[in-house]
C-alpha cells in the first residue's frame, strides 16, 4: 500500500535541501527521499575519527548583490554560521602566485603586477558590471538561465531597454564578447580557462559570456561555513528533518492518470507532484524514457584526494594550483581546500583537513582504469601527494593520506550516472535556446545542477528559488 504525499522531492543534495526548506515555509506537504544516510550529495562530507572532510564542494558564495544565498536565507529563515574568506583564492601559476582579493581594485592591481597588461583594469571593470547585471536578471526572473527561446524572450523583455544590454552576453562567447580585440597571452588565457572550468565546466572560447562572468566573479564572494559542508548541510537539514527519509533510493517512477507512483528501495509512495534534484540523465532512467539528448550529458567527472596536513604557518583556505601533475586529468589545475586550523568542530587544532579536486573526462577515466582501477588509484594518490609537497614545500611539516575519490566513488556516494559531476557545461553549441532538457510531464520538475547548471551550490539554490516561484504561481 503506498503512502500519498502531495510533493515528493528526490535527493537531499544542496538543491533538494533548498527546495524542501522553501516548501516548508509555504506549509506544503512534502517528503524528501535520499538514497544515502547523510545529506549533501556532491557537497557532502565524511568522517575519519575527529576529522570531518568535505567530499566534493568546499566553498560557498552568493551573498553579494543580494545573491541567491542571501535570498534563500531570507525566504527560509535559516541562519548560517559563515565566515568571509578573503582572499577567496590563491591562483598559483608558473609565473607566480596571484591573490584573488574580493576587492576589485586589489584584484586588478594584483593581476597587473604579474601580467603587466594594460587591458586588465577595463576588462575586469566590464566583467564586474556584467556580473552584477546577470545576477539581477537571475533574481528578477524565474526564466534564468533561459531554457528555450520563449524563456529567453521573457527574461529579456522585462524592463527593456536596460535588460537588452544582456542580449549580447547571452549570444556571444566570453572570448568574442570580451577578449577578441585584446592581445592576451597564452598564460593569461589559461588562467581564465582554469577559473571557468571550476564553475561553467567549459573554457573562454565556448562559454557564453553571461555565464562566464558569473563564474569568473564568484571567488570575490567566498564564504566558509563553520563545520565545513557538514555544518552547512546540518543547518539546512534542521528545519525539515522530519520530512526526509534517508536510505530510500528511488528506483522507478510511473505516471498513472494524475498521480506519480514512486518505488524506492524501502517502500512505495504516491504523489501529485515530483521535484527531481538528481541529474536529468538519472531522472530519465527512473522514468524509463529519454529526456536528455546525448549532447546534454556532460563529460566531466572528478578526481579528489583527502589528506590531513600539519603546516608551519597559517595559509589561505583555497588555492588553485596550476599543474599538469595528475595523469589523465582533463584540467591543468588542482583545487586545494584547507579547513581553518581553528575550526575545532572538524579538526584537532594541529592538523587541518585538505580536500583536493580536479576534473577528469569520463572517457579518460575509462581508459585509465581499463587495466586495473586499483593501480590507477595508486598512481593518482602518489601524484596528488607530490603536487601537495611541491606546492607547500617547507610549509608542510607532515602529511597523512586519507583517501581518494574517482568517478566510481561518486557513483557510490551520489548515484550520479557514470559519476559525472557538475552540471551541463555551458556551451555556445547549446546556448541559449537548447540548454537544459525539458520535463516530459506536467507536475514533474527538474532542479539541481542540470537545471541551473554550472555555478555550483549558488546555482542550484537559485534554481530552487526559481522553481519555488514558478510552482507558487501554478
Ligand X SMILES: Cc1cc2nc3c(=O)[nH]c(=O)nc-3n(C[C@H](O)[C@H](O)[C@H](O)COP(=O)(O)OP(=O)(O)OC[C@H]3O[C@@H](n4cnc5c(N)ncnc54)[C@H](O)[C@@H]3O)c2cc1C
Q: 20, 59, 243, 427: which one contacts ligand X (CB under 6 A)? A: 59
User: Which among 403, 395, 223, 406 has a CA at the least distance from the CA of 309?
Assistant: 395
Q: Which is nearer to ligand X, 68 or 432 (CB)?
A: 68
Sole residue written with cell 541567491: 68
Going by C-beta distance under 8 Å and a sequence separation of 6 or more, which residues neighbour residue 371?
none
Stretch that binds ligand X, among 11-19, 22-30, 200-208, 239-247 (CB under 6 A): 11-19
Stretch that binds ligand X, among 53-61, 75-83, 117-125, 233-241 (CB under 6 A): 53-61
Site residues for ligand X, window 339-358 (CB under 6 A)? 357
Q: If binding is defined by CB under 6 A, does position 364 make contact with ligand X?
A: no
Tell me, by CB under 6 A, how many residues bind ligand X.
36
Q: Which is nearer to ligand X, 279 or 432 (CB)?
A: 279
Grid cell listed for 128: 564586474
User: Which among 286, 329, 283 has a CA at the least distance from the CA of 305?
Assistant: 329
Task: Report the residue count for the chain.
Answer: 474
Report yes or no: 447 and 467 within 8 Å, Cβ to Cβ.
yes
118 vs 362: CA distance, rounded Å: 39
Q: 8, 22, 31, 33: which one contacts ligand X (CB under 6 A)? A: 33
For ligand X, which residue has the nearest CB?
13
Q: Which is nearer to ligand X, 28 or 284 (CB)?
A: 284
User: Which among 59, 363, 460, 65 has a CA at the least distance from the CA of 228?
Assistant: 59
Ramachandran angles phi, psi of 223, nearest 5°: -130, 150
Q: Which is nearer to ligand X, 93 or 420 (CB)?
A: 420
Q: How far is the CB of 456 from ligand X (least distance, A)?
A: 3
Q: How far is the CB of 277 from ligand X (least distance, A)?
A: 5
Grid cell listed for 71: 535570498
Q: How far is the CB of 218 from ligand X (least distance, A)?
A: 8
Q: How far is the CB of 158 from ligand X (least distance, A)?
A: 27
125 three-class SS = helix
Q: How far is the CB of 25 from ligand X (least distance, A)?
A: 19
Helix axes 209-217, 186-200, angle to 10 degrees: 90
Stretch that binds ligand X, among 40-48, 73-81, 83-91, 130-138 (CB under 6 A): 40-48
Stretch that binds ligand X, among 32-40, 64-72, 113-121, 234-242 (CB under 6 A): 32-40
Report yes or no: 380 and 404 within 8 Å, Cβ to Cβ.
yes
Site residues for ligand X, window 412-431 (CB under 6 A)? 414-416, 421
Report yes or no: 32 and 7 within 8 Å, Cβ to Cβ.
no
Partners of 446 in the β-ladder: 276
Grid cell listed for 124: 575586469
Please, what's the largest Cα pairwise distance for the chain? 70
Q: 7, 20, 21, 58: which one contacts ligand X (CB under 6 A)? A: 58
Q: Which is nearer to ligand X, 43 or 179 (CB)?
A: 43
Q: If binding is defined by CB under 6 A, does position 304 make contact with ligand X?
A: yes
Site residues for ligand X, window 443-462 (CB under 6 A)? 448-449, 456-458, 460
Q: Which is nearer to ligand X, 184 or 250 (CB)?
A: 250
Partners of 356 in the β-ladder: 305, 336
Grid cell listed for 64: 553579494
251 three-class SS = strand
Q: If binding is defined by CB under 6 A, does position 131 make contact with ligand X?
A: no
Q: 8, 14, 89, 214: which one contacts ligand X (CB under 6 A)? A: 14
Q: Which is nearer to ligand X, 39 or 146 (CB)?
A: 39
User: Taking phi first (over 0 means left), then psi (-120 to 50 degrees means alpha), and beta for anything else, what does residue 49 get?
Assistant: left
Stretch that binds ligand X, among 56-64, 141-149, 171-179, 254-262 (CB under 6 A): 56-64
Grid cell listed for 214: 558569473
Residues of the shown chain interacting with ligand X in the complex, contacts defined by CB under 6 A: 10-16, 33-36, 41-43, 56-59, 249-250, 277-278, 282, 302, 304, 357, 414-416, 421, 448-449, 456-458, 460
Amino acid at each position: 500500500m503506498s503512502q500519498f504525499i502531495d510533493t515528493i522531492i528526490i535527493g537531499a543534495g544542496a538543491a533538494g535541501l533548498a527546495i524542501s526548506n522553501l516548501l516548508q515555509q509555504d506549509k506544503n506537504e512534502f517528503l524528501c527521499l535520499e538514497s544515502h544516510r547523510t545529506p549533501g550529495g556532491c557537497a557532502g562530507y565524511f568522517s575519519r575519527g575527529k576529522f570531518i572532510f568535505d567530499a566534493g564542494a568546499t566553498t560557498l558564495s552568493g551573498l553579494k548583490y543580494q545573491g541567491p544565498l542571501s535570498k534563500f536565507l531570507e525566504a527560509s529563515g535559516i541562519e548560517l554560521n559563515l565566515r568571509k574568506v578573503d582572499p577567496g583564492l590563491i591562483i598559483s601559476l608558473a609565473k607566480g602566485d596571484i591573490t584573488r582579493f574580493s576587492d576589485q581594485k586589489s584584484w586588478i592591481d594584483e593581476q597587473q603586477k604579474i601580467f603587466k597588461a594594460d587591458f586588465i583594469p577595463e576588462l575586469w571593470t566590464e566583467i564586474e558590471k556584467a556580473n552584477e547585471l546577470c545576477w539581477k536578471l537571475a533574481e528578477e526572473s524565474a526564466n534564468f538561465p533561459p531554457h528555450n527561446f520563449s524563456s529567453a524572450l521573457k527574461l529579456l523583455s522585462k524592463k527593456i531597454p536596460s535588460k537588452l544590454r544582456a542580449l549580447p552576453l547571452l549570444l556571444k562567447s566570453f572570448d568574442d564578447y570580451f577578449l577578441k580585440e585584446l592581445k592576451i597571452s597564452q598564460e593569461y588565457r589559461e588562467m581564465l580557462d582554469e577559473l571557468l572550468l571550476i564553475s561553467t565546466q567549459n573554457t573562454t572560447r565556448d562559454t557564453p559570456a553571461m555565464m562566464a562572468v558569473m563564474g569568473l566573479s564568484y571567488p570575490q564572494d567566498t564564504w566558509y561555513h563553520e563545520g565545513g559542508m557538514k555544518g552547512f548541510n546540518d543547518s539546512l537539514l534542521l528545519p525539515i528533518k522530519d520530512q526526509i527519509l534517508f536510505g530510500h533510493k528511488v528506483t522507478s517512477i510511473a505516471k498513472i492518470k494524475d498521480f506519480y507512483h514512486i518505488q524506492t528501495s524501502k517502500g512505495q509512495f504516491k504523489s501529485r507532484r515530483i521535484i527531481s534534484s538528481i541529474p536529468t540523465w538519472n531522472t530519465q532512467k527512473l522514468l524509463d524514457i529519454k529526456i536528455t539528448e546525448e549532447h546534454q550529458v556532460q563529460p566531466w567527472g572528478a578526481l579528489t584526494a583527502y589528506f590531513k596536513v600539519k603546516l608551519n604557518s597559517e595559509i589561505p583556505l583555497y588555492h588553485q594550483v596550476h599543474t599538469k601533475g595528475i595523469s589523465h586529468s582533463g584540467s591543468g589545475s588542482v583545487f586545494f581546500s584547507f579547513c581553518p586550523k581553528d575550526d575545532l568542530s572538524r579538526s584537532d587544532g594541529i592538523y587541518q583537513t585538505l580536500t583536493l579536486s580536479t576534473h577528469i573526462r569520463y572517457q579518460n577515466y575509462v581508459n585509465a582504469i581499463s587495466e586495473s582501477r586499483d593501480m590507477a588509484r595508486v598512481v593518482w594518490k602518489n601524484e596528488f601527494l607530490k603536487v601537495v609537497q611541491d606546492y607547500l614545500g617547507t610549509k608542510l611539516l607532515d602529511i597523512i593520506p586519507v583517501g581518494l575519490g574517482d568517478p566510481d566513488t561518486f557513483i557510490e556516494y551520489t548515484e550520479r550516472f557514470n559519476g559525472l559531476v557538475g552540471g551541463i557545461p555551458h556551451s555556445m553549441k547549446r546556448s541559449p535556446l537548447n540548454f537544459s532538457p525539458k520535463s516530459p510531464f506536467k507536475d514533474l520538475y527538474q532542479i539541481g545542477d542540470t537545471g541551473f547548471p554550472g555555478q555550483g551550490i549558488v546555482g542550484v539554490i537559485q534554481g530552487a528559488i526559481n522553481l519555488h516561484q514558478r510552482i507558487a504561481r501554478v
